Every structure is written in structure tokens, then in C-alpha cells.
Structure 1
Amino acid sequence: MDIVEDDISALARGCAVLGTGGGGDVRTGALAARRAIRTYGPVPLVRLAELPEDALIVPLSGIGAPTVSHEMIHGEDEPRRIAEEVERIFGRPPAAVMSSEIGGANGVAPVAWAAQLGLPLLDADGMGRAFPEVQMVSMYVAGLPADLVVMADVAGNVVTIRPVDGLWSERLARAVCVAAGSHALMADYVITAGRARGAVIEGTVTRALKIGRATEGAADPLEALRSELGAVRLITGKLTDVERRTSGGFVRGTATIEGTGGDRGRTLTLELQNENLVAVEDGRVRAMVPDLITVADTETAAAVQTEGLRYGQRVAVLAWPCDPLWRTPRGLETAGPRAFGHDLEYVPVEELETQHG
């Protein structure tokens, strides 16, 4: 199938939900995608099985603080420069673009980047959601070497990094990102289709589209979204406190939701690092990474990104299971609660809900 302009609204809504608060504001990615499709035409969406074994796949994503991305918007030069550098290194051009993370703008903007480069978009990503750090991708969990990162910024700089492992790829890429103003375009884990098999999370672009379409015309958009996700509703209420700070290329902070209606008297606190990481109610954890936690508007079911959280917003907090890859020992080591400094033993959201109920 092709991704056409009429698909972008649904894709953006789905990617915002899968962004779990991060991945960048989908509005900028959607604008870029629509413009690129109008200029260059529809973008073919291809499955991994359709690509030759030696086809080069370029996973692309914006790296940095989501709050900065509003002011430093990627142009057409950054993906072109990255593609040219990849061709210089490998001796052949890329065959497809892949979103590194399907969540947030990083799930929508690859449509624009693929259109600009005249390449198809792979129906897959490296997270199945959004995560804030470079090594937090399925390719790293699958054991592929993180031996190449190519970055480009709005000033025209191109940086090629040859890290010794995934943790070093995060440290070095983050340093370059901060030097570039806390926002840059990045390709990491440039791999062949053959090596990508079993190392990427397939079908996630299609999944985002399905999530985005679930609320279209629904009498109760929030319930339609919850049902589509198979999510637990942790609380419905009002945002009463938001604390955010941008440092080291991340947005960190907390958000507090006080229950309303049937949830009156309850309070839920979210811990943030670009994404919603941990939800706590009265000292008890209700959900935690790598499971997904999204804040949604109670009327429209539109996901609210962490940089868009405001006092007084009426929201519901939904949580649902992550891809099974993240529940493996290496997956939890990479993106479980302790990977973010939270001294918690991971418990799946569905088990926590049973305990809470």
C-alpha cells in the first residue's frame, strides 16, 4: 500500500498515542509529511519480506529534547546529507527508510523523509513505542552491533560516529546532539534487510494507523481508544501539577493528576524522561516502563505529549503491555525501570492491575 495525504491524520494520532508522551510533537511531523507527499507523491509502505537480503535500511529519528523540536524543525537537507553519507560509507544507496521509534513525531516524520529521498517506508520500527535513549532499540536488544551512527543538524554539520557498543552510541550521540542545540537528525543501526529480520518490530506503521482510526466517528473516543489498545485506565482527572526541566538533551520532570468523578479522592503521579516512565498512586506503582503509559484528553482521546501537559487539563491515563521483546532479560536491562534510575522490579501492567483491583 501507499501512504497518502489522507492517511497522515490517523497516523499522527496513532503515533502520538504510541509516543507515551515523547518522540516529539506529531503536529510538526504531520505538516512535513503532508507537504512532502504533495510535492513528491505517495510513499510506498513495504514489508521487510518484500526487500532483498542486501537492501540497506536507514532507521531515522530526531534526537534531543522534544521541547526544542518546536523551534528547530528539520528541513530537507538533513535526511539528504545522511543518505549521502550512508552511500559513501557502504558504496551503494539506501533502499528504504525506517522509523527508529514509531512514537510521536519520529513515527510520522519518516514519511516526509522517505518521500524526500524517493524511498519506500518500512512497516516496522525499533521500539514499538518511544524511548529517550539511543541504545533503547530492538536492534540492540537483538544483539546487533551499534557500530555506526550518522547525524546531521540544521546548521549543515554531518557527524559519523563509530561507537564500540550501544551505551557509547548514546553517550556520543547525546553529546553531539547537545552541541547542535539539543536537536538533530540521526541514523543508527544502518542494516541490511537480512540482518533486520528478527531484530526490528514489524507492522508498527500499520498499527499506528489502526490506532489513529479507532477514534474516528466514535461515540466515546476514549473508550474506543482504550479498547483498541487493550489498555487499563489508571485514572481520569485533572492535571494539578507539572514540573519540567530540559537538561542534557532530555525533558525530565513529574506530572500529577487528581481524580474526578468516580476517581475523586485519588491521585496519580507520572515520572517523566521525555516519555511517561512510571505511574504511582498512593505509593503503589500502577504501571512502569517498558509498558506504555499515555495521557489522553478525556473528550477527544488525543494523546498529550509531555511538553504539552498544562495545569487544569482533563485527562485519562492509559497503560498497556509493551512488545514481548522488551520483557526479555536483555529488554528489561535496556529499557526497564532500573535503566532510568528507578529502583523497581519490573511487574507487567496487567499483573499490577490485578493486584490493584
Structure 2
Amino acid sequence: MAVVTKFGEVMILKDMIDDFRIETLVRSIATVSGDDISVCDHPMTGKQYREAIIPGAISYALEIGQLLRKAQETNTSGLTVTAQIASKMGGKVLFHGTVTDMPWELRDGFQFGDIYLAGIDAYQGEEYQITFKNENIASYRNGSIDITVPDLICMIDKNGLPMTTPDFQIGDEMNVLALPAPEMWRCQKGLEVFGPRYFGIDADYVPFDSSR
């Protein structure tokens, strides 16, 4: 693994015990570097990539990117492109609202926090919450669990651009949608390492129903 800090320091880490050990070391480097480092890790051969990458993942991401680009070119609203992505990619629109609060902190090299939304339009009078640890881990509608990892909880602004935590402000308009996790993450072994309980969420994983 190669690590570069914002101060220009370059480190090469090799012959590590395992992934867990190197993760601990790199998070420590991030903590003492203002949580601003770049990492290049896990060099692999083409054969290893074919065995490790989820089939179709790159094409899936490319198709979403094409939908977002077309939305920008045609000035399509964020709400419309959110619905288009959900429909085309087997997902589900979850919420449309404005950010009312976003308490978060940097701890152990991670961003921990919650995003709180107040519903607008069809979601008027409802509340939504997204819990994150760098990435979105779980979401709650009116206090009840809605979506959890390994399914994806994605955010798009009113102009059809992706919203990434914590790069938005209170009052920003947000569209939330879910995209289904690949099957390998939804099996028993996948849920053991990337399910809600692994992240301390007191709920079992339940795949969402895109038709409802």
C-alpha cells in the first residue's frame, strides 16, 4: 500500500500481517494527518481482478453515470433523475426533503454522524434520518428502520448531482434513493462482514421492495 499525506509525506507499507492490521495503521496515519490522506492499495493481477470484482459492477456504475450526465445536459430536476435511476437500476425512491441537521465528528479516522431531513412535496410532514460511518449505513423513516447496508443509500441534490457526506449544508434539498446490493453481499457470509449488525445497527437485513 502507498500512502500520501497532505503534507507531502509518502509511505510504502509492505509485508503486512493482514488487512485488519494495515487498516489500523492507515487509520492512525489519517488521524494524525487531519483526516486527509490518499491511499493506493491491493495491487492485483488481471486474473485476481476477474476473481474478485463483482461481474457487471463497472458497467452498472457507468450506466448510472450516463443517466446523471444526460440529466445535466437536459436540465432534468433532481427528483426526476432520482426516479429514473431507481426505475432503470432496480432501485427505489426513499425520500425528498431538506436537510435540517447533520451532527457529525471525526473519530479514529472515520466520519461518524447522522443526516436529518424534513419532507417536502409528497413527503410533507414526514421525517427521515440517515446514519453514516464515512458511507451511509442505515436510514430511518419517521423513527423506524427503512434501509440498511449492504443495500446502497444514495443522495442526489435538486439539480441532479450526487451529494456526498459531509459536503452539503443545512437547508439543502436532497433526494434519497436505494439501490440493491449484489447477491454476494446479501448471502450469510456477506452479511456477517457488511450487514447492519456488523456496524452496530440493531436490526436484521431486509431487502427492500422496489415495487412499493
Instruction: Give the TM-score category using the shorter length.
Output: 0.7 to 0.9
Distance 1:152 1:238, change over 3 A: closer
Is 1:294 matched up with 2:147?
Answer: no
Aligned pair 1:247/2:136, yes or no? Answer: no
Deviations 1:250-309 (A, max 9, x none): 111111111112211211111011111101113321101111001211x32211111123
Q: Using a 3 Å threshold, how does the CA distance of structure 1 residues 173 and 329 change in structure 2: closer, same or farther?
A: farther
Structure 2: distance between partners of 1:328 and 1:289: 12
Matches of 2:189 and 2:16, distance apart in 1: 19
Higher helix fraction: Structure 1 or Structure 2?
1
Deviation at 1:157, TM superposition (A): 2.4
The whole-number CA distance in structure 2 between the counterparts of 1:328 and 1:188 is 26
Deviations 1:44-70 (A, max 9, x none): xxxxxxxxxxxxxxxxxxxxxxxxxxx
- Preserved CA contact (<8 Å) 1:161 1:172: no
The corresponding residue for 1:192 is 45
Match of 2:179 in 1: 320
**C-alpha distance in 1 between matches for 2:75 and 2:168:** 24
User: Which of 268, 272, 275 is equivalent to 2:132?
Assistant: 272
What TM-score comes out, normalization by structure 1 length?
Answer: 0.52
> d(CA) in 2 for partners of 1:344 and 1:227?
27
Query: In percent, how many aligned pairs have the same letter?
Result: 27
2:26 corresponds to? 173
Aligned counterparts of 1:237 and 1:283: Cα–Cα separation in 2 = 15
**Stretches of structure 2 lacking an aligned partner (at least 5 in a row):** none
Matched, 1:339 2:198: yes
If asked which structure has higher relative contact order (CA below 8 Å, sep 6+), I would say 1
Tell me how far apart the structure 2 counterparts of residues 169 and 348 of structure 1 sit (CA, whole Å): 32
Secondary structure at 1:174 match in 2: helix
CA contact (8 A) 1:221 1:300 kept: no
Residues 326 and 335, structure 1, Cα contact 8 Å, conserved in 2: yes
Is structure 2 residue 207 aligned with structure 1 residue 329?
Answer: no
What CA RMSD, in Å, does the superposition of the two structures yield over aligned residues? 2.2
* TM-score, reference length from structure 2: 0.85
The answer to whether residue 122 in structure 2 is matched with residue 262 in structure 1 is yes
Report the count of equivalent residues.
204
Q: Using the TM superposition, give the Cα deviation of residue 340 of structure 1 relative to its aligned residue in structure 2, in angstroms.
A: 1.6
**Alpha-carbon distance between aligned partners in 1 of 2:86 and 2:187, rounded to the nearest angstrom:** 25
